[in-house]
Chains A and B, each alone.
Chain A
Amino acid sequence: MAADNSSQAASAPSAAPAAPSGRPRAGVRFAGRDLGCVRGDRAIFAGLDFDLPAGGALVLSGPNGSGKSSLLRVLASLLPPAAGQLLWDGADVARDPEAHRARLHYQGHHEALKPELTAAENLGFWAGLQDKSAGAVARALARFGLADLADQPVRLLSAGQRRRLSLSRILAAPAPLWLLDEPSVGLDARSVRTLEAEIEAHRAAGGLVVLATHQPLDLADPRALSVDDFPPAPVTADDDPWAGALW
Chain B
Amino acid sequence: MPKTAPETAAAGGDPGPGLILGFARVVARDLRLALRQRGDALLAVLFFVLTAMLFPFGIGQEPNLLQRIAPGVVWVTALLAVLLSLERLFLRDYEDGSLELMALSPVPLPVIVLAKVTAHWLTTGLPLLAAAPIIALMYGLPAAGYGILLAAMALGTPTLSLIGAVGAALTLGARRGGVLIPLLVLPLYIPVLIFGVSAVDAQMAGLSARPQLLLMGAGLLAAVALAPWAAAGALRQAVE
Binding site for B on A (CB under 8 A): 27-28, 39, 54, 73, 76-80, 98-99, 101-104, 106, 108-114, 116-117, 121, 125-126, 128-132, 173-176, 202, 205-207
Which residues of chain B come closer than 8 Å to A28, judged between CB atoms? Answer: 10
Task: Please pick, from B8, B26, B107, B240, the residue contacting A78 in the complex, using a CB distance under 8 A.
Answer: B240
| Residues of chain B within 8 A of A121, CB atoms compared | 29, 32
Given the interface pairs A78-B239, A99-B12, A108-B100, the reply to whether A129 lies near B17 with Cβ below 8 Å is yes
* Bound CA–CA A27/B10 (angstroms): 7
B10 touches A101 (CB 8 A): no
Min distance, Cβ A40 to any Cβ of chain B, angstroms: 10
Instruction: Looking at the assembled complex, report how far the CB atom of B103 sits from the nearest CB atom of chain A, in whole angstroms.
Output: 7
Chain A CB within 8 A of B9 CB: yes
Tell me if B32 and A205 are in contact (CB < 8 A): no
The 7 lowest CB-CB distance pairs between A and B, nearest first, are A110-B97, A206-B10, A102-B13, A131-B17, A116-B36, A112-B97, A129-B105
Contact present for B9 and A79 (CB under 8 Å): no
User: Which residues of chain A are near B37, meaning CB under 8 Å?
Assistant: 116
CB of B25 closer than 8 Å to a CB of A: yes
For A70, the closest partner residue in chain B by CB is: B240
In the complex, what residues of B have CB within 8 A of residue A175's CB? Answer: 9, 13
Which residues of A are found within 8 Å of B26, using beta-carbon distances?
129
What are 30 A-B residue pairs whose CB atoms fall within 8 Å in the complex? A76-B104, A77-B104, A78-B103, A78-B104, A79-B240, A98-B106, A101-B103, A102-B16, A106-B104, A108-B97, A110-B96, A112-B97, A112-B101, A113-B96, A114-B96, A117-B32, A117-B33, A121-B29, A121-B32, A125-B25, A128-B21, A129-B101, A129-B105, A130-B13, A130-B14, A131-B15, A174-B13, A174-B14, A205-B6, A205-B9
| B11 in contact (CB, < 8 A) | yes
Given the complex, which residues of B lie within 8 Å of A77, measured CB to CB? Answer: 104
**Chain B residues within 8 Å of A99, by CB:** 12
Instruction: Confirm or deny: B219 has a beta carbon within 8 angstroms of a beta carbon on chain A.
Output: no
Could you say which residues of chain B place their CB within 8 Å of the CB of A103?
12-13
B 89-143 contacts with A by CB, 8 A: 95-98, 100-108
Q: Which of A112, A129, A174 contacts B96 (CB 8 A)?
A: A112
Q: Which of A27, A108, A110, A130 contacts B105 (CB 8 A)?
A: A130
The secondary-structure label for the interface of chain B is: helix
- Which secondary structure dominates chain A's binding surface? loop
Does B5 sit within 8 A of A, measured CB to CB?
yes
- The distance from the CB of A10 to the nearest CB of chain B, in whole angstroms, is 26
- Give min CB distance, A77 to chain B, whole Å: 8
Given A99-B12, A112-B101, 17 more pairs with CB closer than 8 A: A39-B240, A77-B104, A101-B103, A101-B106, A102-B14, A108-B100, A112-B96, A112-B100, A116-B37, A117-B29, A125-B29, A126-B105, A131-B17, A131-B21, A132-B14, A173-B13, A176-B10
User: Which of B9, B97, B102 lies in contact with A174, CB distance below 8 A?
Assistant: B9
| Cβ-Cβ contact count across A and B, 8 Å cutoff | 117
Tell me the nearest residue of chain A to B3, going by C-beta. A174
- The 8 Å CB contact of B13, one of A76, A106, A113, A176, is A176
Nearest CB of chain A from residue B47's CB, rounded to whole Å: 23
Q: A106 contacts B101, CB within 8 Å?
A: yes
Q: Is the CB of B98 within 8 A of A173?
A: no
Which B-chain residue is minimally distant from A99 (CB atoms)?
Answer: B12
A175 to B106, CA, bound (A): 12
Nearest CB in chain B to that of A129: its residue: B105
B72 within 8 A of partner (CB): no
B22, CB-defined interface residue at 8 Å:
yes
- How many Å lie between the Cα of A128 and that of B6 in the bound state? 21
Chain B residues, Cβ within 8 Å of A39: 240
Report the bound CA distance from A103 to B12 in whole Å. Answer: 5
**Does the CB pair A176–B9 fall under 8 Å?**
yes
CA distance A173 to B101 in the complex (A): 13
**Chain A nearest CB, measured from B13 CB (Å):** 4
Please state if A111 and B9 are interface contacts (CB–CB under 8 Å). no
A residues near B22, Cβ cutoff 8 Å: 129
Which residues of B, 20-64, contact A by the 8 Å Cβ criterion? 21-22, 25-26, 29, 32-33, 36-37
Q: Is B17's CB under 8 angstroms from A78's CB?
A: no
Q: B105: nearest residue on chain A (CB-CB)?
A: A129
Smallest distance from the beta carbon of B112 to chain A beta carbons, Å? 9
> Nearest Cβ in chain A — how far from B41, in angstroms?
14
Indicate if the CB atoms of B12 and A114 lie closer than 8 Å: no
Using CB atoms, name the residue of chain B closest to A25: B10
